[in-house]
Amino acid sequence: MKQPFSPNGDSLLILQESCIDPSVALIVYAPVDLHSVTSAINGQDMAKIPLLPSGFIISDDGHPPDNYRASTSSGTTRPSGSLVTVALCSNGSSQQLTMESVAAVHNLISSAVQNIKAALNCPDLS
């Protein structure tokens, strides 16, 4: 559990799980309010706690590693890399979509991808 900075004093916690092995890294997180966490600790049925999990997976892109030096038909080598898959969950429905909500989701996804790229020190190729 992590408590993010909240300028308006919300009692929001981030529930996070991660798993890393040689083939994949997985980070899953969900915002949870402090009241729900306290209720779960006191024995309330956890099925009643609303969770909207999000996260990302970093896996190998399927190309041979650099030290393998497999050549393509043009005689050049292809470097290996990583594939990042981002998943975000929201509680809206398609019937409630507005231009503002679409823009908010777009900004959320863009921000998440930019933060992942910055954390992994990836160059901006645009």
* Strand partners for 81: none
Amino acid 68: pLDDT: 53
For the stretch 52-84, pLDDT in tens is 888 888 888 776 665 555 444 555 555 667 788
Distance between CA atoms of residues 14 and 30, nearest Å: 6
Q: Say if 125 falls within a structural domain.
A: no
Residue corresponding to tokens 């933060």: 115
Residue 2 confidence class, pLDDT cut points 50, 70, 90: low
Distance between CA atoms of residues 42 and 2, nearest Å: 19
Q: Say if 126 falls within a structural domain.
A: no
Q: Say if 124 falls within a structural domain.
A: no
Q: Say if 2 falls within a structural domain.
A: no
* Contacts for 1 with CB less than 8 Å, ≥ 6 apart: 13, 14, 15, 16, 32, 37
Distance between CA atoms of residues 31 and 15, nearest Å: 6
The residue segments making up the domain with residue 55 are 12-67+78-119
What Rg value do the Cα atoms of the chain yield, rounded? Answer: 20
CA 73, 77, 80, 83: dihedral to nearest 10 degrees?
-50
Domains of the chain: total: 1
Q: Say if 5 falls within a structural domain.
A: no
Q: Say if 58 falls within a structural domain.
A: yes
Residue corresponding to tokens 């991660």: 18
Q: Model pTM?
A: 0.60
Q: Say if 41 falls within a structural domain.
A: yes
Amino acid 103: pLDDT: 85
Q: Say if 106 falls within a structural domain.
A: yes
